[in-house]
Every structure is written in structure tokens, then in C-alpha cells.
Chain A
């Protein structure tokens, strides 16, 4: 099986640990991928104004590139990229008038009608690999790790691009369970981390992030799995601020789910890029003897 892969800008800079670990997992699972040539930033945020078509040009152009590349499916890793590309695709599929306007504007490209399928790493593993095969490839099960998978918003909302049931998803839990983790379910797993409010209202963003972390801890989590670089910024990189500001908040190790998958699949640790996580995360894996296991 070979698939087109859309990385997204952040995975090439701040979130290299998301990309390197995910690609190593694909290798370990025998999935061939080809990075999309000539890709553009997807725009990161899907515009909520109904007539703001100019911000759809970038994602649609990326989808046209997938067609040019000769694939019918594109795999994304960053959940913001997933959301932006998938929603642009839905619009091109369903809204004839806007599709016409966009195709007319991009007169140097072939017309696009939403033919490409946009998938995220999680539903790709579920639908194309399957939990059983994933499980069969696990070399270092995450046994005993009380892990809280945190979805955030953009994999689940709006409903027409959700990778699972929007209000009661299981895909993330099932994936981490297959890797041997003990799943901690908590209600805020599908709530917003504050997202880009961190720019305009950093205090408000810090508060909702803190609520998520304290709730997960109260439900017994000793670590959290993430899918999104912006969630990692709010929940991971701003944890020190939370610890200072909020009494009772405890440090919670954060990982991209692909890093934990890479650990479980026993791929070369150089692909984990744990130095881009907070220090507690690395310590935590050491404490679980999951780093040593690999190197021996």
C-alpha cells in the first residue's frame, strides 16, 4: 500500500517529534508513503466566514497536488491540517457555486471537485491497518501506563469531517489500548485546549488547559497522548506557567500519540525526538523502563 503524505509546516519546525515518530511507525507497519511535492501551508484554520473563499485556495491547491501526484487519498498527521484540508474538500464536493468560483480563480490548475479522500493517521491505522495488526507489531507494550488520550476539537468537529462519533469517540482510546496502555477516559478529552486564543487571550487559554490537565490527573492519568501541535503548546509547553499560577496542578507528561506508538513498536529511539517534549515526559518514559528496553 502506498499513500500520499501531507506533513504541514509545524511538523517541519516546532513539531518534528510528531513527524519523525509517525513516519517511523509507518515504516514499521510496512506502509509506503510519498510526501506531497510542492505543498503549501493549508492555512491552519478553516475560515468561519461563509464567503471567505480566498482562504480556501491554499488547501484546495494542496488537494489538486495530490491528484497530480497520482493518489486518491492523502494522509495527514497534524489535526489542524486534517481539519482544514478535510473541510475544504467537503466544500468542493458539495457546494457547486463556491466550487465554480474557486476553480475559476485558479485557472492555472485543473478543476477540482473533491475527489481526494483526506484521512488522519488515527483513522488510517484503524481502517487500513486495523487494531489487530497494530497489536501484533507491538514489541514493547506500554503496560501499566495510565494514559489519557486527548482529542481536542479538530479531529471531531464539525461532524461531517469527524474521524469518529463526535461526542463519544473511541478511535484514540482503541489505538492506545492496542499499544498496551491502560486507558483513562475523562470528559474533557473532547474539549478545547484554548487553541489559538493563546495569542489574543493567553490567560483564558491557560485556564482551560489547566482544567483539562487537572481533570485528567483527577481521573488517574499519569500521562497524556496528543494529536496536535497547538494542543501540545497549550497543554505541554505552557505547563510551567500553570504550575506557578494554579495551586494543586501537577505536572503531567505529554506525548504525541505517534511517539508512544513508536516506543511500543520498538523503532529506533532517534525517531522519538523526545528533546522537543518537556523534560518530565522523557523522565516519565525512563521511569517506566520504556527507553532502556529499546536500546538493549
Chain B
């Protein structure tokens, strides 16, 4: 009988510099895990761990290059000799406005964010964006009043704030982009009529009865109801519709 021995696979350790101090960390880790491996405990600067919340933005440099690199700590794998620090937050002023009072005119954005016109097109914002958003391009679009283009170009923004950290015009780009997307959604995009009907139906109590029913149901009945629910068959064609079409 041959004995099977568990083989311990050890990742190679590589040196990285966290806030200027050297640590040896396994080369397979993300920056976030490497920071934890090095002994730090997150109470800020970490959220979703999935690359969507924007809490873990990180800047780093590698030997032999003057380039500033950036990445999300939860998504970026460590590299030997990288110098890094996380910048979980960067102060950027968000103007206050009553959204309902806006009408979608470019001048409203100009009034709320005069800084827009301090942009000199240096492009440092786009270069640092860990989501590869063309930040300078959406700022350019806003300066000429094209809110829709700005909303579309900035769509992938996760509001990490690195753009604002690099801006020589001191713009809070990501806040301005958020305003653009809000205005675009509310005023510039055609409204879905069926959605309005649906909301009205719900407000009129469309689901009230079935919800109250579910709340008072005993556990067995609840399980039974769940199992017996109507499901789209695996072979259901494109034109399959449920018997009880409560959607719309």
C-alpha cells in the first residue's frame, strides 16, 4: 500500500513595502490580504472585498519607474518591491442641492461646481483611476454641458476618490459625475411608463394581502408554498409566461 502524503504547497515570499516598511508576503496574495498577512487589521479602507465599493483604493510605485500606479487593494495582486499605501478616503467637497428643484440644465451643474472650469486637461485623474474611467473626458463633456455623455463615460466609477487626490484644479470629479448620473437618470433618460404603473399598483396595495398571508403562515405551510411555487421550466421557450403573472 502506498502512503499518500499531504504535500504542503508554500507560496514564495516576496518583499513589499507597506507605508514605507518592508514585509515579506506570499506572492499570491492581493494587496488587501497581504496587508492583513503583515499584521494590520482593517477597521476602515475595506468594504466589499469584491472590487465594487471603492473603499480600498491604493497607490503604489515599482522600482525603476517614476510612474504612479493605482489599484483596488482587494483586486490587485502584490508584486515584488512595490511601495504602496492605501488611500481609503480623500477629502472632496460635495455641493448640496435639492434634487427635485433641478431641471437638468448644464448651468445648474456649473453653478454647483464652479471648479469644473479649473480643469487644465492634465489627465492625471484618468491615469490614476483604478477603474479605467476616462475621468478627464467626462469633465470635458460637462464643461460643454453634455451631461448625458458625462453620465455614460463615468458609469464605472466606484467613487474611490483617487481622481480628486491627483487633481491640480482641485476638482471633486467623482461627486460631479454622480450629480451628472443622477440628472441623466431623472431628467435626460426617457422614463419607463410601465414602471410608474407598477409603483402605483404597489402603492395601491397590490401585494399587501399576499405579504400579510406569508407573515402569518406557519413554517410547514411556508415550506410547502415555497416548493409548490411556479418555476420556469428548464425547457421553457422564450415566450414562456407564468400562470400568475404578478409582475406587470
Contact = CB atoms under 8 A, between A and B. Distances in A.
A218 interface: no
Nearest to A60: B121
A233 interface: no
B144 A61 contact: no
A39 B137 CA distance: 8
Interface residues of A, number: 18
Contacts of B137: 38, 40
A58 B123 CA distance: 9
Contacts of B120: 43, 54-55, 57-58
Interface string B117-152: 101111100010000001011001001111000000
Contacts of A108: 123, 127
B106 A13 contact: yes
A40 B116 CA distance: 12
Contact of A57 (B122, B127, B144): B122
Contacts of B134: 38
Contacts of A291: none
A165 interface: no
B143 A9 contact: yes
Interface string B217-241: 0000000000000000000000000
Interface in B134-178: 134, 136-137, 140, 143-146, 168
Contacts of B136: 40
B143 A41 contact: yes
Interface residues of B, number: 17
Contacts of B146: 12
A280 interface: no
Contacts of B106: 13
Contact of B123 (A9, A41, A106): A106
B127 A9 contact: no
Contact of A41 (B122, B127, B140): B140
Nearest to B127: A108
Nearest to B119: A41
A9 B144 contact: yes
A7 B120 CA distance: 18
B65 to A, nearest CB: 11
Contacts of A57: 120-123
Given A13-B106, A108-B127, A40 B145 contact: no
Given A13-B106, A108-B127, A41 B145 contact: no
Interface string A33-70: 00000111101000000000011011001000000000
B121 A40 contact: yes
Nearest to B139: A40
Contacts of A41: 117, 119, 121, 140, 143-144
Contacts of B140: 38-41
A38 B152 CA distance: 13
A108 B134 CA distance: 13
A40 B119 CA distance: 10
B145 A12 contact: yes
Contacts of B168: 54
Contacts of B122: 54, 57, 105
Contacts of A8: 144
Contacts of B143: 9, 40-41
Given A43-B120, A54-B120, 11 more contacts: A7-B144, A12-B144, A12-B145, A38-B134, A40-B137, A40-B143, A41-B143, A43-B121, A57-B120, A57-B121, A108-B123
Q: Closest 8 CB pairs between A and B? A: A58-B121, A9-B144, A12-B144, A40-B140, A13-B145, A40-B121, A41-B143, A9-B143
Interface of B: 106, 117, 119-123, 127, 134, 136-137, 140, 143-146, 168
18 contacts: A7-B144, A9-B143, A9-B144, A12-B145, A13-B144, A13-B145, A38-B134, A38-B137, A40-B121, A40-B143, A41-B121, A41-B143, A41-B144, A54-B168, A58-B120, A61-B121, A105-B122, A108-B123
Interface of A: 7-9, 12-13, 38-41, 43, 54-55, 57-58, 61, 105-106, 108
